[in-house]
Amino acid sequence: MKRHAGYSYSGPAAAWAYASLDLSKAKRVFLLGPSHALYLPGCALTKHSKYATPLGDLIVDRETTKKLKETGKFDNMSSSADETEHSLEMHLPYIYKMLSRNFASPAEYPPLIPILVGNTSEAAEKLYGEILAPYLADPTSVFVISSDFCHWGSRFDYTYYVSSDGSKGVNLAQGGEPPKNPSIHESIAILDRLSMDAIEGGQHKDFLKELKRTGNTVCGRHPIGVVMAAIEVLKSTSQSDVDPGKGRFKFVRYERSSDPEDLDDSSVSYASAYAVL
């Protein structure tokens, strides 16, 4: 799981996740990102055969994309939507660079399956989780999820503040003096940690419940939810003695673009995690 803001903001956090990524046995790379410009109740696939990066082209896995489209559950992205969506675009140079370290030439690079995830419901995330679960179970498949975490400040219309233990919250836009204990930026860290804990807990429902409770503006909540649902499908069909740590996300880096002190300030949070099945 990696970030998708500009490299000067999200690059250091993303590097931690990519450093944890093993592509040596990869035969395909799935890239899931949230839709920012196109409203989707479900997921969409690219119509193109390759994605260009400053380093070279990444080839799209047309065979797998065709199989996913044949399920009848995926839309096609228009070319304009495909070109506009930065949540996918920002990861392409990272993926190319990591592949270049594991394969002798671009001709050997595993193909890419980009998936744009819309404003999916819990039921939809479970549906897409079931579709993607067989691919996730394949040890030659790698899944990359694109997401920022909390977008805080008046310009994001999100000024939620929580107590030190995270149990109580209030919208600071309702008025009053900004609290001091914890500070606003410490409260943001607590908010993000609550979401990160829910992800590490491995329960799709718990993650959605926490997001509903705090309203945390995790923009990649839906692709995260799809993959969490897919992991749950695999665990439900595995032997009872399967390692409980398998498929659990572990966060390795957390940071923010700034430390807000009042409602006129803003910040975006970045966190990196990985999971191994």
Percent of the chain with pLDDT over 90: 79
Q: Please report whether residue 18 resides in a domain.
A: yes
Please indicate, yes or no, if residue 128 is contained in any of the structural domains: yes
- The DSSP letter of residue 110 is P
**C-alpha to C-alpha distance for 88 and 116, rounded to whole angstroms:** 8
Q: What range does the domain containing 79 cover? A: 7-153+218-256
Provide the pairing of β-strand 74-76 with 28-34: unpaired
What is the C-alpha end-to-end distance of the chain, expressed in Å?
Answer: 14
pLDDT in tens, 152-176: 999 999 999 999 999 999 999 987 7
> How confident is the model at residue 239, as a pLDDT?
52
Q: What is the CATH number of the domain that holds 22?
A: 3.40.830.10
**Residue 148 domain-assigned (yes or no):** yes
Residue 196 resides in a domain: no
Burial annotation 131-168 (CB, 10 A radius, 16+ → b, else e): bbbebbeeeebbbbbbbbbbbbbeeeebbbbbeeebee
Whether the CB-CB separation of 230 and 129 falls below 8 Å is answered with yes
Q: What is the mean pLDDT of residues 101-108?
A: 96
| Mean pLDDT across 6-18 | 82
Task: Work out the mean pLDDT of the chain and round it to a whole number.
Answer: 92
Nearest Cα neighbor of 204 from 129, 116, 118 is: 129
Tell me how many domains the chain contains: 1
User: Residue 262 to residues 42, 153, 257: CA-CA distances in angstroms?
Assistant: 36, 8, 15
According to DSSP, residue 128 is labeled: H
- The answer to whether residue 113 is domain-embedded is yes
pLDDT digits (tens, 9 = 90+) for 47-66: 999 999 999 999 999 999 99
Residue 250 pLDDT > 70: yes
The reported pLDDT for the residue numbered 244 is 64
The answer to whether residue 93 is domain-embedded is yes
What pLDDT, on a 0 to 100 scale, did the predictor assign at position 122? 97
In a domain, 204, yes or no: no
3-class DSSP assignment, residue 28: strand
Element (H, E) at 208: helix 204-214
* Other beta carbons less than 10 A from residue 265's beta carbon: 16
Is residue 170 assigned to a domain? no
Model pTM? 0.93
Residues across the chain: 277
95 CB-side CA count, 13 A:
33
Phi, psi values for residue 144, rounded to 5°? -115, 130
